[in-house]
Amino acid sequence: MSCGKDGGKCGPGNVFLVGTGPGDPELLTLKAVRVIQKADLLLYDRLVSNDVLDLVGPDARLLYVGKTAGYHSRTQEEIHELLLSFAEAGATVVRLKGGDPLVFGRGGEEMDFLQQQRIQVKVIPEKSLNVDCNLPLISVSVTGTAASGIAAELGIPLTHRGVANSVRFLTGHSRKGGTDPLFVAENAADPDSTLVVYMGLATLPSLALKLMHHGLPADTPAAAVERGTTPQQRVVFAELKDLADEIASAELVSPTLIVIGKVVALSPFWPHSSKEASCFLEAV
């Protein structure tokens, strides 16, 4: 292969770990877009949206390395070796990851592996997001993971004075032999905090019961968002005690982000009527 788009002399290439956020390409940073458009090779995950892939340059090569429960198109070790081999050949390699590359993903492992091989790695996280919803009580400035973009899209401030003074990010899925994420429920059952759960569809029924057992009110507002910020977005709003049933009724599937906390009720989409204990929204 030629080394880089100019076909110049081969030398060590660069690897960029790029976070694509929840899926809307307009939430990408300018740096992320520039790197995506100039890449020779892009290895992308299952959660990277087609709209983001549309930004890839016409001469670049795309390689799918996504994973689902029970099926991995490539092992993590194979992904490491692919990144290394193309970088050693002099290519500009982009590793596209849904959300933030260093939050509940394997980006840290990939970075560590490449650095040990003396390959230059640069991380481009999901953008800092400033949002003015032009709605009462909702004018937020949030930074960080895919939760930022999804919550802002729904008018949910992850923290809010007098409502939630902190936010906790939790994975509902752990590696085999790892710590059971449900064990954190005792510390996470804080009514003055916001709980954001990634990859939590399977464990939500148990997590909700444990949170309520440890004191989180059963009527705590909650939302589940499938493919947030994309045209395929679907949202369920419900009280914590009903959320798992409402998700099952709506047949939400992965990737779904779950937000639990009083701030959810600040969303203009929150069903305020007692006769409307839950609601379901689809993108139009």
| 199 in active site | yes
- Rg of the chain on CA atoms, in Å: 20
| 5 in active site | no
Q: Is residue 237 within 8 Å of residue 255, measured between CB atoms?
A: no
Strands (DSSP E) found in 149-241: 166-171, 193-198, 221-226, 234-239
Closest to 2 measured CA to CA, from 34, 11, 117, 95: 11
Q: Which of 45, 97, 127, 210 is catalytic?
A: 45
| 180 in active site | no
Q: Which of 24, 199, 210, 242 is catalytic?
A: 199
Length of the chain: 284
Q: Measured between alpha carbons, how far is 208 from 176 in angstroms, rounded to an integer?
A: 22
Q: Which of 67, 212, 245, 262 is catalytic?
A: 67
**Number of H-type helices and E-type strands within the chain:** 8, 15
| Angle of helix 240-250 versus helix 204-213 axis, rounded to 10 | 170
Q: Measured between alpha carbons, how far is 280 from 284 in angstroms, rounded to an integer?
A: 13
Residues involved in catalysis? 45, 67, 199
